A and B are shown apart, each in its own frame.
Chain A
Amino acid sequence: MLAMNYRGPFRVRAQQKAEPEIEHPEDVIVKVNRACICGSDLHIYHGLVPDTRVGSTFGHEFIGEVVETGRDIKKLKVGDQILVPFNISCGRCAFCKQGLYSNCHESDPEATAGGGIFGYSHTCGGFDGGQAEYARVPYAGVSPMIIPADIHPDDAVLLTDVFPTGYQAAEMGGIREGDTVVVFGAGPIGIMAARCAWFFGAARVIVIDRIEYRLQFAREFAHCEAYNFESLEDPVLFIKKTTDYFGADVCIDAVGCEAAGSALQWVTGRVLMLQAGSATALHWAINSVKKGGIVSIVGVYGPTDNLVPIGNVVNKGITIRANQCSVKRLLPKLISHIREGYIEPRKIITHHIPLKEVADAYHIFSAKLDNCIKTVLIP
């Protein structure tokens, strides 16, 4: 089968590899019909996530048709069109049973911090991802769901990660009616978080980034204010001034380990790799939020350390909420929101690109060419 094949930092290609097989009674094999490139895929594409092995196939946002089922699969059958949440969750461990599906303890032998994730390095379990013609889906009876007939496939593929993660970013912010919410990052997750902040009753939503076309997209899609931090003297001071020197009620870090904006963070995190990437957005979020405010983190960071102003977290009494998204819990509500017409997630898709052109697709997304917001690969 044709699959995305990682060759090293900034190098990928489409290449033939063996088709996946059933390896566990609760597996299914899916014939992929859409797979997104996620902003967090760029972290592994850029070589920032330890134990990313050459030959890996990325892709944790995909949908497809069930073509083979393991012997213990009762909920799905061959021919079903399913969406596959990015978390690999057993549904039985203490964490899954308490709703923490992204923290499953039965899907990742190589690290204990999170659970297994499709196509996201051996640190996240060593599973191949969905940027391929076929993919193995473990625990297929737990999180994957049949795509309702009235849900567009492009919306379905965004329900595997980006829409739920953006929603959870806003939800974890504990937004109260009338709150000012600041989202750092105008990538797909940040834009989605900004849009979802209104669902929780925000009175003001501000997005901070430096890519002008993305800021414009955020203004239109998320109905928010959007500012280029390169034209602000200091984004933290700007947030303070614009909130009457009080600070934002909620700040969301939707950037993670590749944030621009600080030479010190960039050199130590990206160039010298002395920390797990550049934590500028988190630094700003902590310093921009009000005393007693909430910082919600969905940006992805590597497993080593980061330089953040932890003293300000203590002194301001900030609550930090963070987790990978528990997609399964959110699906019923988010499907309902699509049906009600509150949001059309697929509007953020700017590029459909054939899988065989995966190298160009990654470069377009990574280098932000052609006004790219979100890329979908078609096997």
Chain B
Amino acid sequence: MENTNNNYKDIKGWGVDIDPANNPNYPIKHYNGDDHKRLDWERPPLQPVTVEILESVEQARMPAVFGTTLPPSGLSGALRRHAFKYDESEYGHWLNLLLADRINVVEGILDDLKHFRIPNIFTERGMKADWKYNRKELVTKAVIAAAVAGGIIMYLNKKKSDKES
């Protein structure tokens, strides 16, 4: 197949960064020997730890700065604490975290209800945008879902009446 852009040298900016010596990331690592000093650098001031922060077992020490949002809590929190007993190359670490994430979704719904808020799952999933830009597919999906639900209800009703007779 032919190259479709034979005048490529006319493209604005073509070739302006040909010289690797002028590339901002070249070399990508400016080796300075500090690797051999390991963790011995002048540290920034340390952020006070005010909430529970889960630390990787592969860390020698708490980093100077970290996020303090959403400390672990509830069942998902217990699972997250368990996950952090494993190192980062073990499935026990990541799969427990993924499971905790899914449990956390249910906790989020319960928390909403506890605060007298009924989550509007349709709005949260951006259905308004679907209605505006993707109406045909949305309506098709709704019709299919209604048909499937109707079919299941009819089947269950038939089964029930068969049993009674």
Q: Which residues of A contact B (CB under 8 A)?
A: 7-13, 23-26, 47, 50-57, 72, 88, 90, 92-94, 97-100, 105-113, 116, 122-123, 125-128, 138-139, 168, 171-172, 174, 177, 198-205, 223-225, 241-242, 273, 302-304, 321, 323, 326, 329-330, 332-333, 337, 340-343, 357, 359-364, 366-367, 369-370
Closest A residue to B134 using CB positions: A369
B44 is contacted by which of A8, A51, A92 (Cβ under 8 Å)? A92
A127 contacts which chain B residues (CB < 8 A)? 66-67, 69
Closest B residue to A93 using CB positions: B41
Classify chain B: how many residues form its interface, as a range: 35 or more
In contact, A94 and B41 (Cβ under 8 angstroms)? yes
Instruction: Tell me if B160 counts as interface (CB < 8 A to partner A).
Output: no
Q: Identify the stretch in B122-130, B142-150, B151-159 within 8 Å (CB) of chain A at 4 or more residues.
A: B122-130
In contact, A204 and B54 (Cβ under 8 angstroms)? no
Inter-chain CA distance A55–B109, complex, in Å, is 11
In contact, A359 and B124 (Cβ under 8 angstroms)? yes
A107 is contacted by which of B29, B65, B83 (Cβ under 8 Å)? B65
B107 is contacted by which of A47, A54, A273, A343 (Cβ under 8 Å)? A54
In contact, A223 and B5 (Cβ under 8 angstroms)? yes
Instruction: Tell me if B25 counts as interface (CB < 8 A to partner A).
Output: yes
Closest B residue to A360 using CB positions: B129
In contact, B25 and A200 (Cβ under 8 angstroms)? no
Interface residue SS majority, chain B? loop
In contact, A98 and B30 (Cβ under 8 angstroms)? yes
Instruction: Tell me if B116 counts as interface (CB < 8 A to partner A).
Output: no
B113 contacts which chain A residues (CB < 8 A)? none
B63 contacts which chain A residues (CB < 8 A)? 105-109, 116
B8 is contacted by which of A13, A57, A223 (Cβ under 8 Å)? A223
Interface centre among A54, A205, A337, A341 (most CB of B within 10 A): A54
**Considering the complex of A and B, which 3 residue pairs feature the smallest CB-CB distances, nearest first?**
A363-B126, A342-B13, A126-B67
Say whether, besides A94-B34, A100-B29, A112-B56, A369 and B121 are in contact (CB < 8 Å): no
A342 is contacted by which of B8, B12, B53 (Cβ under 8 Å)? B12
The total of Cβ contacts below 8 Å across the A-B interface reads: 254
In contact, B69 and A11 (Cβ under 8 angstroms)? no
A202 contacts which chain B residues (CB < 8 A)? 8
In contact, B101 and A11 (Cβ under 8 angstroms)? no
In contact, A369 and B130 (Cβ under 8 angstroms)? yes
A360 contacts which chain B residues (CB < 8 A)? 126, 128-129
B104 is contacted by which of A54, A112, A113, A203 (Cβ under 8 Å)? A54
In contact, A55 and B134 (Cβ under 8 angstroms)? no
Inter-chain CA distance A56–B68, complex, in Å, is 11
Interface centre among B13, B24, B29 (most CB of A within 10 A): B24
Say whether, besides A23-B68, A100-B29, A198-B14, A53 and B125 are in contact (CB < 8 Å): no
In contact, A50 and B101 (Cβ under 8 angstroms)? yes
Tell me the smallest distance from the CB of A201 to a CB of chain B, in Å: 4
Say whether, besides A53-B70, A109-B55, A203-B8, A139 and B17 are in contact (CB < 8 Å): no
In contact, A99 and B134 (Cβ under 8 angstroms)? no
Say whether, besides A223-B5, A242-B1, A94 and B125 are in contact (CB < 8 Å): no
Instruction: Tell me if B98 counts as interface (CB < 8 A to partner A).
Output: yes
In contact, B108 and A106 (Cβ under 8 angstroms)? no
What are 12 A-B contacts with C-beta separation under 8 Å?
A: A10-B125, A94-B35, A109-B54, A110-B53, A110-B54, A110-B56, A116-B63, A171-B25, A198-B14, A200-B18, A359-B123, A360-B129
B107 contacts which chain A residues (CB < 8 A)? 54
In contact, B130 and A109 (Cβ under 8 angstroms)? no
A200 contacts which chain B residues (CB < 8 A)? 15, 17-18
A50 contacts which chain B residues (CB < 8 A)? 94, 97-98, 101
In contact, A47 and B101 (Cβ under 8 angstroms)? yes
In contact, B65 and A52 (Cβ under 8 angstroms)? no
In contact, B67 and A99 (Cβ under 8 angstroms)? no
Per-residue contact bits, chain B 73-89, to A (CB 8 Å; 1 contact, 0 not): 00010001001100010
